[in-house]
């Protein structure tokens, strides 16, 4: 029999203790890494990264709203200075010429957005807004004003579709509806800004020219700031520029979400049977129902008469002996509150519920 050796026993016990501690340490670290991986998979991209890009894009909507309302308070002064006061035809042309330009711009917005990208598309839509605003501000005749409004309208027709595309493509899915509501809010703010800036037009000679010069500022800011914004990763991927698309996703979502975003994008692209859609498919094919519903919604919005209120609210309130200052302020605030409410409820109630209730409310008010 071997004699009991206490030193050997102590060394063996100590070794087993060290092995036990090491095993527990490795196990705990493994569990921690596993939990971290699970949290990473379940985490959502931060909305803060893409929020600044959405704000820059909303400058196009701000410009759109500003040009909707810039002639509201200033139309009387414009007609007096340019010599067509009392001519309802000329006043109507000053208001509506930009809509003709918007029609022309809207015909080319899809080609521009897909051809040069969303960022360059924003810059191209800002260019006629700047040129048109300058032409209107310096016009000496009715024709100069109409030409300036036509140029501005071209940019107005380009900007809304490009803004909608860009915001949808750079926003995290969890807040896509909320971010999409920022554009209407920016439009409301632009409209209210035009109404408030135009208030002194009836008292200060030539103030309407200042109002048009101011409209060039957000357009110029849009063109400049877009140079520093991320391009749409969806557009980059479609153009075969996958590395640049990954870099864009890293800016928008953070590095940890790049692979999952690229995988989802690749899957969605493979699910498309074709990158092009024929005109026949839009008119009577598989896409007709979607296109018809979308176009009808926009048509119903215009047929509600809201644009007439934006253009001629000062004259409408004046005919009822109501101060245009008070009336326009109320219109602007109501419009803004509705847009903010939509932003809050968009991702909670869904798009369909908000559409149905808003149209129901409009019908009730008409009755």
Question: What distances in angstroms separate CA 292 from CA 38, 92, 134, 289, one per listed residue?
Answer: 43, 30, 38, 5
pLDDT tens digits for 199-209?
Answer: 888 888 889 99
**pLDDT for residue 152 is more than 90:** yes
More confident residue, 175 or 65: 65
Q: For residue 257, which of 33, 54, 29, 39 has the smallest C-alpha distance?
A: 39
Q: What is the largest distance, in Å, between two alpha-carbon atoms of the chain?
A: 126
Task: Please give the average per-residue pLDDT across 242-268, as a whole number.
Answer: 79
pLDDT tens digits for 86-100?
Answer: 888 998 899 889 989
Per-residue pLDDT band at 224 (split at 50, 70, 90): very high
Which of 7-21, 65-79, 223-237 has the lowest average pLDDT?
7-21
Which of 58-62, 224-228, 330-334 has the lowest average pLDDT?
330-334
Domain assignment present for 317: yes
Q: For residue 133, which of 150, 108, 157 has the smallest C-alpha distance?
A: 150
Q: For residue 210, which of 226, 196, 229, 192 has the smallest C-alpha distance?
A: 196
Domain assignment present for 189: yes
**pLDDT for residue 10 is more than 60:** no
pLDDT at residue number 85: 85
Task: Please give the average per-residue pLDDT across 240-254, as a whole number.
Answer: 84
Rounded CA-CA distance 77/38 in Å is: 65
Q: Which residues of 22-50 are buried (b: 16+ CB within 10 A; e: fewer)?
A: eeeeeeeeeeeeeeeeeeeeeeebebebb
> Which range of residues forms the domain containing residue 212?
48-229+277-366
pLDDT tens digits for 13-28?
Answer: 545 444 444 545 544 5
The CATH number of residue 291's host domain is 1.20.1250.20
Q: For residue 202, which of 320, 318, 335, 89 has the smallest C-alpha distance?
A: 318
> CA 350: distance to chain centroid?
18
Domain assignment present for 262: no
Rounded CA-CA distance 254/261 in Å is: 10
Question: How many independent structural domains does the chain possess?
Answer: 1
Domain assignment present for 299: yes
Which of 32-36, 138-142, 253-257 has the lowest average pLDDT?
32-36
What's the token pair of residue 151? 């140029």
Q: For residue 190, which of 71, 70, 312, 63 has the smallest C-alpha distance?
A: 63
**pLDDT for residue 125 is more than 80:** yes
Domain assignment present for 264: no
Domain assignment present for 16: no
What is the residue-averaged pLDDT of the chain?
Answer: 80
Task: Please give the average per-residue pLDDT across 149-172, as a whole number.
Answer: 91
Task: Please give the average per-residue pLDDT across 283-299, as a whole number.
Answer: 78
pLDDT at residue number 301: 74
Inter-axis angle of helices 48-69 and 142-170, to 10 degrees? Answer: 160
Domain assignment present for 237: no
**pLDDT for residue 35 is more than 70:** no
CB atoms within 10 A of CB 310: 21
Per-residue pLDDT band at 272 (split at 50, 70, 90): low
Task: Please give the average per-residue pLDDT across 290-317, as a whole number.
Answer: 76
Per-residue pLDDT band at 78 (split at 50, 70, 90): very high
């Amino acid at each position: 029999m071997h004699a009991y050796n206490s030193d050997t026993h102590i060394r063996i016990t100590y070794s087993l203790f060290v092995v036990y501690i090491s095993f527990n340490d490795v196990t705990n670290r493994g569990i921690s890494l596993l939990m971290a991986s699970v949290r990473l998979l379940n985490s959502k991209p931060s909305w803060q990264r893409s929020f600044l890009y959405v704000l820059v894009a909303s400058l196009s909507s701000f410009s759109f709203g500003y040009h909707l309302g810039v002639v509201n308070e200033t139309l009387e002064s414009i007609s007096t200075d340019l010599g067509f006061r009392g001519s309802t035809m000329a006043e109507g042309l000053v208001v509506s010429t930009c809509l003709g330009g918007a029609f022309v711009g809207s015909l080319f917005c899809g080609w521009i957005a897909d051809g040069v990208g969303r960022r360059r598309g924003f810059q191209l839509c800002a260019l006629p807004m700047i040129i048109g605003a300058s032409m209107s501000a310096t016009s000496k005749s009715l024709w100069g004003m109409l030409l300036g409004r036509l140029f501005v309208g071209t940019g107005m027709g380009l900007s809304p579709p490009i803004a909608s595309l860009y915001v949808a493509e750079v926003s995290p899915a969890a807040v896509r509806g909320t971010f999409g509501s920022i554009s209407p809010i920016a439009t409301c703010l632009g409209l209210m800004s035009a109404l408030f800036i135009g208030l002194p037009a009836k008292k200060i000679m030539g103030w309407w020219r200042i109002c048009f010069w101011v409209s060039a500022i957000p357009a110029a800011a849009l063109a400049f700031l877009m140079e520093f914004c991320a391009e749409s990763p969806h557009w980059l991927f479609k153009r075969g520029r996958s590395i640049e698309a990954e870099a864009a996703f890293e800016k928008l979502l953070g590095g940890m979400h790049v692979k999952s975003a690229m995988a989802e994008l690749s899957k969605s692209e493979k699910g498309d049977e074709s990158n092009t859609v024929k005109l026949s498919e839009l008119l009577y094919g598989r896409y007709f129902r979607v296109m018809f519903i979308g176009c009808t919604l926009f048509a119903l919005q215009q047929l509600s008469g809201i644009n007439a209120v934006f253009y001629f609210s000062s004259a409408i309130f004046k005919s009822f002996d109501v101060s245009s200052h008070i009336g326009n302020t109320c219109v602007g605030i109501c419009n803004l509150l509705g847009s903010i409410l939509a932003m809050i409820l968009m991702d909670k109630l869904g798009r369909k519920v908000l559409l149905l209730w808003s149209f129901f409310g409009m019908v009730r008010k008409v009755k």
